Structure 1
Amino acid sequence: MSTDSTDNLIPIEPISFETFDWIPRAPEMYPRAEVTRQTGPYQAAVTASIVGWAPRLPAEALADVEDATRRLVEFDLHAQRTLASDSPALGPMAAILLRTEAASSSQIEQLTTSAKQLALAEIDEGDKANARAVVGNVHAMEAALSLAGEVTEESILAMHKALMLHQRGFDPVFAGRFRDEQVWFGHGEAGPRTADFVAPHHDRIPTAMLDLVRFVRREDLPVLVQVAVAHAQFETIHPFPDGNGRTGRAFAQSILRNKGLVRSTAVPISAGLLVDVDRYFAALGSFREGDAAQIIHEFARASRVAAVTGSGLVDDLASQLEESRAKLAGIRSDAAAWRILPALVSQPAVNTKYVVRALGLGEMAALRALDVLVERGVLVEMTGKSRARVWQHRGILGVLDEYAARIRRMSAKETSFE
């Protein structure tokens, strides 16, 4: 859907501006020229109220949204059928889809990690800072879905707290709290006067967030339109000192679940946005200028990517689970190895501590079960140590890494999902 013609515009009230004065903090930390540039008046954005917005969607945009919505519903039904085919795998499969969405959302912010490193970080193994940060995003997504019954300012704060408690270098005191200072992004180290975008003054955040929550509670809008506009408004408000992008995409998941558009799991929409990050950010810019068409189209497009790639991921994980079941043929049905197997879908790298904690097995029973899984070729011990051992399911890790590689290839080729 092109937005070059005014026929395709979806008007929304643009941001306005208000003027404040800025004096650089700790001016001794910056060159005198920079201090001079950043001393004086600057303009901060003021978000317009959207609670009463009445969208006028052109026929092409409406068809775009309806098609993307249908694809999401089909994906959700496919996931439900696959997950329901073996109920013990339901939780683990849903969990790995959520983790995949969190990893893609983090990658938009240049936080990249492998499936293996992320799995290790979940069991407190490995020392990769990015992996630990992505674990925080996983917890933010979990909070988003668990609190989706009612979207409130408190639930948004809980998402941010779950995210930032794992962020190295971020003061945990500010996790789950709206910012109390001016923020901006783009040019300008000592102040906002030369920034690309200056977010609203922090005094405006409570009113703006209340308006946003009331907008989300409306029941008279197409869900994908509501998700896209709510996300763009959240990013414009920029209510936190850090973590706004990842919290905002967790917020989008919360709305999808709250509205009942999807029920079985997280939808990997961030993977779809990751296919063309520049266009996603440009769409946020257009929204601030008064045109919601581009961000709505980006979410529709991302939903189609999510439906296609997510269905493939579910099928590939189910195949790995089936292959592993076949390797355990002949082992009695009440053996502990069978209890560990479904958990490997969501946690494809495990240590004894994880198995004991997650499955309630005794340590010796856990070790015997892990030995069985190694003997049958389901797991591989990866440390070569006699103590502090870690086991991995290479097939599941391979599926997850191939999924990430596919998204990268789509980005390079700009694959069309129109």
Structure 2
Amino acid sequence: MTPSPASPATAAAPALPVQPPQGCPFDPPAEFARLRTEAPLSKISLPDGTEAWLATRYADIRAILGDTRFSSDTTRPGYPLSGMTGGATTEHRGFIRMDPPEHTRLRRMVTREFMVKRVEAMRPEIQRLTDELCDAMEKRAGQDVDLIEALALPVPSLVISLLLGVPYDDHELFQRLTGTLLSRTVTDAERESARAELRAYLHQLVSAKEAAPGDDILGRLIAEQQVPGEITHDDVVAFAALLLIAGHETTANMIGLSALTLMRDRETADRLRAEPALIRGAVEELLRFHSIIRNGPRRAATEDIEIGGQLIRAGEGVVVAVPSANRDPEVFADPDALDVCRPNAQHHVAFGYGIHQCLGQALARVELQVVIGTLLRRFPEMRPAVPVDEIPFRSDMAIYGCHTLPVTW
């Protein structure tokens, strides 16, 4: 097919679809299904008045994420900025907003911390933390319990705090600040205030660790990388911010959505209870099914590139619709159905694809496997305490999930 250049818009492009269909809180925006067929690469308008390409087809999305000519650098011309990207600045920028070779150099410094073998060694500790939280929940039998507050947020928050050497007593602070940073409804001033407050907290934390590095990720970064001069104090702060936010927000929301899904699908839940060996595959299917990153990843083309027969010019931005890719019927049969025995569920792109694929995916998998397996085993009668249409879903946030999830048993 001959590539066709983007034509000037004769009318304002539509905004990025973000709302799930009415009555279907688990499904991605219905518009994605139409776009995958009719216009898999189409123009959308951004809040700042600029336009970008929206990619909705699995093959195109893998091609974009796997091609380093699409830049993750927010300072590149045409990069489709959003509030959570932190703006077009290099100050306190994490390595996920960088391109090779700097991205490669910095990512390599923490890759070993999240390798499968190292994460698997943490499974008993993650199980212990989960059991303790479930013990506390059991004492509240007969009451309504917010599963997000009681379990979904504490597990990944405790684990990432332990890994980074962040005092868990500070978890309410960083959860409040990251909630503001990831909100799509707060003002720019509120978001910048939260960013500054988090930065000040992390500066203080890193300074304390510089004086007495501990046996944790930040301590090792200081001793092995900062002291020899490979990175600076500000680089360690940027590592801390990235890992702290990524380490609890995404997994917490996946736990909540997964639990709610299985509470509403008794047949699948009973099968997983009867065959716990299926839980690993079920986690992959739940990741595909929910795809909680609803407005990205984002890239900017650094040269003219043809994707799926469409020419994307240098300096044009691209927003990748991961939930659309993971519901593409060309890849996943009956994609809107949850099938915990789906043979190719692991081919989802919920963790991204290419060199920027989620660093902590092995940790997220173990946390989800442990928490979901424990909930199924210990709370077989757990059910939502309110109708689904009364559960406050995070349609206002960059990461989808439930703000609260009242349950009883």
Q: Taking structure 2 as the reference length, what is the TM-score of the superposition? A: 0.26
Q: Which has the higher contact order (CA 8 A, sep 6+)?
A: 2
Q: Higher helix share goes to which structure?
A: 1
- TM-score of the aligned structures, taking structure 1 as reference length: 0.25
